[in-house]
Structure 1
């Protein structure tokens, strides 16, 4: 055990912190104990994820905190809300939530590698499950001693991958370790538990070397997956936008089916989306090849929808709705705010937030020519209103006023993204998400501000000299 941890420690950068995913169960308790013995407590940090799925979750959190403190190890925890999308199992949803939480904890601690306690039996179970589900290479690759998923910032390290569960039990017994038992591990309604309790013992009798054989299968699949990922990276360079959030529809459909499906899978992993079934991806590719009307394309998956606009395809929040234009406007109640310097204004009805950022006076005149005097925002109530049709604004300093519909079209904003709140100062349209500040209104407000600057300064105090930039941020974005 200590030898395996020592090998993993040798792969770590000198003097780096050793982050360990610590659930409090047998496996992670052994890993934490061995890491402390090899690397020293001062170098280790234990991360715990509270899923809230068990009535004992609070007790487990307390146990982990106390045990880490007793070892002299830094400890941090994060609560998660496990939400299941249609067709996603509770196990898969909890796993994804756990990895996301661990990534956040790593980021907070400034570490880019985390040790996980999966062992040889875990790997065998995973390969068998993936085989029974008809998984592809990515599924069969299962677990690797060291792996960083596409698009992730944190590398997952598994020092115990060649250690048997029985060896972990022996180590824990000799060291007199104490751990918690998750009652759900005995529930054979879960596929993994059924394999663990009913299938693996029989395999051990008739095929004693099955764990090593399945580990070799995983290694072969992993090598093959790296090759197809490299092909996908080449295709991404030709098809993806600079930020990777959109793909060229023409470039994708120019590929043969297998290569196009490989690119779609790789792109989705890079965006942090869960894997889709072959049937779902095949349907998406069929629509991309056959549907001529951009608005006719929609493939739903894991709370997201694949859409197309002006030759680009991308994923949108699945509940973002269809075309929001003069022909299909959504009515919403007007929301008001008496602004007093708030940095954010949350608008749940639009699933987004107005963000107010202070800039210096020098920046306001140069780098941020659309910055607004804070006194103007304080002078009258702010209103967030839905579009009613026919609104106009000027985005170009030397251009004419145009309808929002024309400006959205000019900027290539898909119709289903045009359902945004319009920000008014009193009765004046000041800001439109995805378009920016209404320069006509800004010029008038600046003129009024200059005319009454003394009065406004006296009324608003120091705020008269502050300048504010307004932005809009959607709540539901692909990571």
Structure 2
């Protein structure tokens, strides 16, 4: 159930603590991130957990909003996974009242039985809650507090999981989901800068960020990286975060180029008007890496999940072995809720009939 609290009348004069001007570095990065949008938003929200990162983003967003006449909201998601979760919600609303910003909170149920783990389930629940709160508040842009350390850890985790080159772009500074634009303006900011501001604000105001014990619980994958690997990396390769963040930026540029190549290649395959089929003969003229790119791009355009590397290679082997003139009815492979087939020289995606098995 969503809860929304506005500042009480007695808090109207509170605002940011006198003497706290914020970090010029953090404000500049925040302003640059917002300036990168196609159109300046009239309202913004901050995803506010109550930890140091999101609290300082909320505080600097309040300073930015006051200077640029932008309507600001705070969104807090109560996952119910920690005994202190109720206190964290109240603590977040306390900060919002100090800053004279409306705060909206929503309690969610995390499906702990999901096959992809607790972290993924909590993240999915969080984005669903953000979408609901955004509709309630009439907001289309939400700020997230991921920083350079988070980005470096994401690249490292994806490397360890065997992610391909495109996945190594890691977190994007902007992305859309559920018709909402999410911004991560601090991906190039060191966390030390954020923590220094949290300490200063705490001295001036008496308000201190919450500490989530799960961030140090190595039963969780990201926490295991943070607790076990990061200290060794810090000791032996102090610049590893900056290096991995640079790698992510270069990978993002590479991904953009590859997407442009794949789009051009697919357009040259006599693509059907509805995008559901293309010419097998034309596809075969591409080099093998570009064949794979074109297939992935085609599936993405049709809203299909990406296949595993092994499955994709198997499809490519079958497509290269077909008779291009149409003696190819044996090419019929299941992908999710659809079939990939080849009929009369056209590779196509067709919906599976109810009860139809591969």
Identify whether the pair has TM-score above 0.5, normalized to the shorter chain.
Answer: yes
**Contact conserved, 1:137 with 1:222, CA < 8 A, in 2?**
no
1:72-87 equivalences under 5 Å are 72-78=100-106, 80=108, 82=110
**Cα distance in 2 for residues equivalent to 1:84 and 1:271:** 30
Identify the match of residue 50 of structure 2 among 20, 24, 30.
24
2:348 counterpart residue number: 312
**Cα distance in 2 for residues equivalent to 1:110 and 1:99:** 16
**Contact conserved, 1:249 with 1:312, CA < 8 A, in 2?**
no
**Contact conserved, 1:287 with 1:297, CA < 8 A, in 2?**
no
**Contact conserved, 1:119 with 1:163, CA < 8 A, in 2?**
yes
Are the structure 2 counterparts of residues 80 and 243 from structure 1 closer, same or farther at C-alpha, using a change threshold of 3 Å? farther
Are the structure 2 counterparts of residues 297 and 53 from structure 1 closer, same or farther at C-alpha, using a change threshold of 3 Å? farther
Q: Can you list the C-alpha shifts for 1:263-304, whole angstroms capped at 9, x where unaligned? A: 3434555566665432243345456666955895213xxxx4
2:313 counterpart residue number: 282
Are the structure 2 counterparts of residues 308 and 68 from structure 1 closer, same or farther at C-alpha, using a change threshold of 3 Å? same
1:48-87 equivalences under 5 Å are 48-54=76-82, 56-78=84-106, 80=108, 82=110
Gaps of at least 5 residues in structure 1 are 324-415, 417-479
**Contact conserved, 1:116 with 1:157, CA < 8 A, in 2?**
yes
Are the structure 2 counterparts of residues 107 and 230 from structure 1 closer, same or farther at C-alpha, using a change threshold of 3 Å? farther
**Cα distance in 1 for residues equivalent to 2:277 and 2:106:** 35
2:226 match: secondary structure? helix
1:185 counterpart residue number: 215
Gaps of at least 5 residues in structure 2 are 1-22, 323-327
Q: 164-173 vs 268-277, which deviates more?
A: 268-277
1:297 match: secondary structure? strand
Are the structure 2 counterparts of residues 105 and 207 from structure 1 closer, same or farther at C-alpha, using a change threshold of 3 Å? same
**Contact conserved, 2:78 with 2:105, CA < 8 A, in 1?**
yes
**Contact conserved, 2:271 with 2:279, CA < 8 A, in 1?**
no
Q: Can you list the C-alpha shifts for 1:341-374, whole angstroms capped at 9, x where unaligned? A: xxxxxxxxxxxxxxxxxxxxxxxxxxxxxxxxxx
**Cα distance in 2 for residues equivalent to 1:276 and 1:63:** 44
Q: Does 1:127 align with 2:155?
A: yes
**Contact conserved, 1:248 with 1:313, CA < 8 A, in 2?**
no
**Contact conserved, 2:48 with 2:76, CA < 8 A, in 1?**
yes
Return the offset for 1:215: 1.4
Q: Compute the TM-score of the two structures, normalised by the length of structure 1.
A: 0.56
2:182 match: secondary structure? strand
1:95 counterpart residue number: 123
1:306-385 equivalences under 5 Å are 306-308=338-340, 312-313=348-349, 321-322=355-356
**Cα distance in 2 for residues equivalent to 1:111 and 1:216:** 32
1:262 counterpart residue number: 293
Return the offset for 1:214: 1.1
1:148 match: secondary structure? strand
Return the offset for 1:75: 3.0
1:298 match: secondary structure? strand
1:147 counterpart residue number: 174
**Cα distance in 1 for residues equivalent to 2:266 and 2:106:** 34
2:27 counterpart residue number: 5
Root-mean-square deviation (Å):
3.7
1:389 counterpart residue number: none
State how many pairs are aligned. Answer: 315
Are the structure 2 counterparts of residues 152 and 60 from structure 1 closer, same or farther at C-alpha, using a change threshold of 3 Å? same
1:114 match: secondary structure? strand
1:369 counterpart residue number: none
2:337 match: secondary structure? strand
2:196 counterpart residue number: 170
Task: Report the structure number with the largest CA radius of gyration.
Answer: 1
